[in-house]
């Protein structure tokens, strides 16, 4: 299955471009585009799970707080409608 690609314009520090160019010259990547794709892919695959774990922990914590709040307000003054 071929991945759909979109072009984006990104400004990188010159040292990163030079590093990717050197990796291309040494045969690690066929071209700069593939080098940058790999760099971004590695970044996302390594970083996103950590963010998801933090986010899901916060969501679980908030869900528990909401459930606890519902239990304490059920039938109480906060649960009375006018």
Q: What is the pLDDT of residues 24-74, one digit of tens each?
A: 999 999 999 999 999 998 888 888 777 777 766 655 555 554 455 445 545
Q: How distant, in Å, are the alpha carbons of 51, 58, 69, 81 from that of 54?
A: 5, 6, 23, 37
Distance CA 25, CA 37 (A): 17
Structural domain contains residue 41: yes
Domain that holds residue 39: 14-71
- pTM for this prediction: 0.57
Kindly indicate the confidence band of residue 80, based on its pLDDT and cuts at 50, 70 and 90: very low
Sequence-distant (≥ 6) Cβ neighbours of residue 29 within 8 angstroms = 20, 23, 35, 38
Question: Does the pLDDT of residue 81 top 80, yes or no?
Answer: no
Q: Is residue 1 part of a domain?
A: no
In order of 38, 67, 69, the CA distances from 63 in angstroms are 37, 6, 10
Reported confidence tier of residue 14, pLDDT bands at 50, 70, 90: very high
Residue 66 lies in a domain: yes
């Amino acid at each position: 299955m071929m991945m759909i690609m979109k072009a984006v314009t990104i400004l990188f520090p010159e040292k990163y471009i030079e590093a990717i160019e050197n990796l291309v010259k040494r045969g690690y990547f066929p071209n700069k585009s593939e080098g940058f794709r790999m760099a971004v892919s590695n970044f996302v695959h390594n970083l996103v799970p950590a963010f998801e774990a933090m986010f899901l922990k916060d969501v679980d914590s908030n869900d528990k707080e909401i459930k606890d709040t519902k239990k304490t307000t059920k039938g109480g003054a906060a649960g009375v409608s006018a």
